[in-house]
């Protein structure tokens, strides 16, 4: 997930889901370290808590749905 917190004040929406709670394997490192919603200015940030596609496909080389199925059941 690519994001820039400095741009949030120019957006015209009330919530966003572009910041993962952890991002040690993502192209842009640095998550918010929480699963609870929080505000960035006037925008409500809803942290992403699911494993991202980049990690699954490019680092773990896993193209199956097995990881998601195991977490959802």
Confidence of residue 51 (pLDDT cuts 50, 70, 90): low
In tens, the pLDDT along 32-45 reads 778 889 898 888 98
Q: Rounded CA gap, 3 and 54, in Å?
A: 15
Confidence of residue 72 (pLDDT cuts 50, 70, 90): low
């Amino acid at each position: 997930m690519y994001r820039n917190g400095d741009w949030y004040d120019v957006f015209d929406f009330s919530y966003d889901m572009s910041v993962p709670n952890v991002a040690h394997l993502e192209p842009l490192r640095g998550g918010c370290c929480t699963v609870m919603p929080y505000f960035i200015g006037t925008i409500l940030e809803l942290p992403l808590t699911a494993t991202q596609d980049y990690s699954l496909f490019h680092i773990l080389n896993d193209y199956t749905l097995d990881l998601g199925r195991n977490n959802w059941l």
